[in-house]
């Protein structure tokens, strides 16, 4: 993988290939197929390789490494992937600037895996106005599944609102006399979780919420918010934060002797990036909702997919931590993107790419939990819609209960 830093920009140029070529060797390419030649497919991306959300940067490094592996295997129906990723620092204005560069100067076929709710919101209208696929976004906002109003934009992971609703249902069923305190990021990302959570509680259940605290992504810490939540008398803590602030909140709660039942949103459930910095003892008992295998979990030590993933990390991304779930997410999402490109055959027009992405027939991509699939239809644009609760035992996440299907819980906006 070629990595070139230019000021605040990180360029990942990954020449890539496919799993099994559907259309054989590369065919003729129409002149109006932007980002495609007889030998290449150009894909763009923005991600926070720097700034407060930089822990997420490894997701796209893992995806770039996956594309490198695919290229080594021969390419997408004979074409190599050129993956161009710029550092936006999770700054929406910078995301817009970099995305315009990808579309208007780099002339990419599509934008894959752009990370963040506020950042994707900044380019949402632009991408749809220019009819450029904005695929498999790394954000669980519900609005990414709206084919009627935004037919060029699709998410990938379970939605934040459905995840929040599952936590609410668990509390109503298993936590008598709950007094709930909530900490969330003051933007669409945090509000989507909270809205889903409140809908899951219902009108009566919302009375269980004793305090809500917000923070801005530019805040240095969330220490004061955690102290306020403790003083509210809350015995349940809904921690809806990105990695930097999640780690701070877990650690601060432990330091001040506050030990509520704590729910941590999946996007910050990395043991290496979040829980270890917070303290493993401080993290013991946390509950999250997951949909990917934990490569460090002995449960999967003889699992063929996990062995293949670990081999991939060793060869193609040796600098990455194979136990980091963010790398697992990049690997599984990139496999989804490869499937779409592969099954588009030699019609790599933007319109056809969206048609293929809208008709994924319940495929298995590596490292999803057993029984989980990627499924879309022209009216259902939530590709990964299953997850399962897990509890951190001080060393690893331990799955419990039955998996849920978020399609039955999705709250459309």
SS (H, E, C) 179-246: CEEEEEECCHHHHHHHHHHHHHHHHHHHHHEEEEEEECCCCCCCHHHHHHHHHCCCCEEEEECCHHHH
- pLDDT tens digits along 109-124: 999 999 999 999 999 9
Of 166, 161, 47, 49, residue with least CA distance to 102:
47
- Tell me if 250 sits within 8 A of 283, measured CB to CB: yes
- Show the tokens assigned to 406: 């978020």
- Show the tokens assigned to 186: 């003051």
CA distances from 177 to 54, 166, 194, 206, 239 (A): 38, 18, 20, 13, 19
Note the pLDDT of residue 303.
97
For all residues of the chain together, what is the average pLDDT?
A: 90
Note the pLDDT of residue 202.
94
Could you tell me which residue, 8 or 369, shows the higher pLDDT? 369
Note the pLDDT of residue 11.
45
For range 183-206, the mean pLDDT:
94
Query: CA-CA distance, 304 to 253, in Å (whole number)?
Result: 39
For 38-66, letters b (16+ CB in 10 Å) and e give eebbbbbbbbbbbbbbbbbbbbbbbbbbb
- Tell me if 37 sits within 8 A of 81, measured CB to CB: no
Q: Is the per-residue pLDDT at 22 higher than 60? A: no
- Tell me if 376 sits within 8 A of 383, measured CB to CB: yes
- pLDDT tens digits along 253-276: 999 999 999 999 999 999 989 999
Q: Is the per-residue pLDDT at 205 higher than 80? A: yes
For 228-242, letters b (16+ CB in 10 Å) and e give bbbebebbbbbbbbb
Long-range contacts: 175-179, Cβ < 8 Å, 24+? 175/236, 175/261, 177/235, 178/208, 178/235, 178/236, 179/208, 179/210, 179/232, 179/233, 179/234, 179/235, 179/236
Q: Report the share of the chain in percent with pLDDT over 90.
A: 87
Verdict on whether the full-model pTM lies above 0.75: yes
For range 126-145, the mean pLDDT:
96
Note the pLDDT of residue 404.
84
Rg, Å, the chain Cα set: 21
- pLDDT tens digits along 325-375: 999 999 999 999 999 999 999 999 999 999 999 999 999 999 999 989 999
Which residues lie across from 40 on neighbouring strands?
80
Q: Report the share of the chain in percent with pLDDT over 70.
A: 91
CA dihedral sign, ordered 88, 160, 163, 376: negative
H/E run at residue 316 = helix 304-316
Coil vs helix vs strand at 354: helix
Domains of the chain: 2-158+300-382 (3.40.50.2300), 160-290+388-408 (3.40.50.2300)
Of 268, 305, 303, residue with least CA distance to 288:
268
Note the pLDDT of residue 265.
96
Note the pLDDT of residue 52.
87
- pLDDT tens digits along 68-110: 999 999 999 999 999 999 999 999 999 999 999 999 999 999 9
Note the pLDDT of residue 405.
84
Q: Which of 13-17, 203-207, 312-316 has the highest mean pLDDT?
A: 312-316
- pLDDT tens digits along 45-77: 999 999 989 999 999 999 999 999 999 999 999
Q: Is the per-residue pLDDT at 408 higher than 70? A: no
Could you tell me which residue, 289 or 412, shows the higher pLDDT? 289
């Amino acid at each position: 993988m070629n990595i070139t830093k230019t000021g605040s920009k990180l360029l990942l140029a990954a020449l890539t290939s496919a799993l099994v070529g559907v259309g054989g060797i590369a065919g003729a390419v129409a002149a109006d197929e932007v980002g495609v030649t007889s030998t290449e497919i150009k894909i763009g991306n923005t991600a926070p390789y720097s700034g407060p959300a930089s822990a997420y940067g490894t997701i796209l490094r893992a995806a770039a490494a996956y594309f490198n592996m695919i290229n080594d295997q021969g390419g997408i129906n004979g074409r190599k992937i050129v993956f161009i990723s710029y550092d936006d620092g999770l700054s929406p204005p910078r995301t817009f600037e970099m995305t315009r560069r990808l579309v208007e100067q780099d002339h990419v076929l599509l934008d894959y895996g752009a990370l963040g709710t506020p950042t994707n919101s900044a380019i949402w209208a632009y991408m749809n106005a220019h009819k450029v696929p904005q695929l498999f976004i790394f954000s669980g906002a519900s609005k990414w599944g709206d084919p009627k109003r935004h037919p060029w934009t699709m998410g990938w992971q379970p939605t934040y609102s459905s995840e929040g609703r599952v936590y609410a249902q668990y509390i109503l069923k298993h936590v008598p006399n709950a007094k709930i305190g909530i900490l969330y990021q003051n933007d669409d990302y945090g509000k989507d979780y909270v809205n889903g959570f409140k809908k899951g509680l219902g009108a009566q259940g919302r009375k269980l919420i004793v305090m809500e605290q917000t923070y801005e992504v530019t805040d240095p810490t969330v220490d004061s918010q955690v102290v306020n939540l403790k003083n509210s008398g809350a015995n349940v803590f809904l921690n809806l934060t990105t990695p930097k602030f999640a780690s701070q909140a877990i650690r601060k709660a432990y330091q001040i002797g506050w030990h509520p039942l704590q729910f941590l949103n999946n996007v910050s459930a990395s043991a290496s990036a979040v829980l270890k910095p917070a303290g493993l003892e401080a993290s013991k008992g946390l509950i999250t909702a997951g949909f990917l295998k934990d490569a460090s979990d002995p449960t999967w030590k003889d699992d063929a997919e996990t062995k293949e993933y670990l081999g991939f990390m060793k060869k193609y991304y040796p600098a990455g931590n194979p136990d980091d779930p963010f790398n697992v997410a990049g690997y599984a999402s990139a496999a989804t993107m490869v499937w779409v490109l592969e099954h588009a055959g030699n019609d790599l027009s933007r319109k056809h790419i969206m048609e293929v992405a809208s008709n994924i027939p319940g495929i298995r991509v590596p490292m999803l939990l057993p029984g989980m699939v990627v499924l879309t239809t022209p009216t259902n644009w939530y590709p990964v819609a299953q997850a399962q609760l897990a509890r951190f035992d001080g060393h690893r996440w331990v799955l419990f209960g039955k998996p849920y299907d978020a399609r039955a819980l999705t709250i459309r906006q």
